[in-house]
Homo-oligomer: A and B are copies of this chain.
């Protein structure tokens, strides 16, 4: 299975289009790992000794409150990396990570990787760009959670998902929520009950049509008009 490793690395923005030689060096220090559904990948506060690249499957990154409520920060899919930040500064993970399904990931251990960074300004620059993107995402998440109601957050999420999927935004467009509604509710900073009711409300208003995880956009204009 070591043969798919370079392939995984090549598909992550961090290492895409890297000279073969650099890629080989990264591959040399990378460790393939597998997790089953619901397996914990790391827990908040645990010693952080590296970061991850997803090859197959989905991972949720989340915070837990003392009374057990969870806030999903990110949903990570194939090609994406996560926990990069932990290899600089601070030796512990700031959140939990759990496999949402069977996952093949690649682990990049801290020390060998930072050594590599020091000699590879190209990778270092990409690393900074990646950290910057995470920062932007978190900034948007804060804005979303604190400044918008659940309906607006949901609509924005649908809009963003259509965008990343490359689906043109028009009536009849279909979107597949790739995760359970419970997880999605938590990502949107709410609970399953409220999430369910919000979907129903939008459906009753004729703006969307819900069938399982399929969302069909019926009135794109009025649906997305609440976003500025």
Q: Which residues of B contact A138 (CB under 8 A)?
A: 135, 138-139, 141-142
CB < 8 Å neighbour of A142 from B69, B135, B141, B147: B141
Docked complex Cα distance between A228 and B142 (Å) = 23
With A69-B147, A228-B66 already in contact, the answer to whether A88 and B142 are too (CB < 8 A) is no
Residue-by-residue, is A106-132 near B (CB-CB < 8 Å gives 1, otherwise 0)? Answer: 000000001001110100110111011
CB < 8 Å neighbour of A139 from B69, B73, B132, B136: B73
The count of chain A contact residues (Cβ–Cβ below 8 Å) is: 42
Q: Which residues of B contact A64 (CB under 8 A)?
A: 147
Q: Does A28 contact B (CB under 8 A)?
A: no
Q: Does A3 contact B (CB under 8 A)?
A: no
Q: Does A33 contact B (CB under 8 A)?
A: no
Chain B proximity of A130: nearest CB distance (Å): 8
Chain B proximity of A93: nearest CB distance (Å): 10
Q: Which of chain A's residues 135-155 have a Cβ closer than 8 Å to chain B?
A: 135-136, 138-143, 145-148
B128 near A131 with CB under 8 A, answer yes
Docked complex Cα distance between A147 and B138 (Å) = 15
Q: Which residues of B contact A12 (CB under 8 A)?
A: none
B148 near A65 with CB under 8 A, answer yes
Q: Which residues of B contact A131 (CB under 8 A)?
A: 85, 88, 128, 131-132, 135
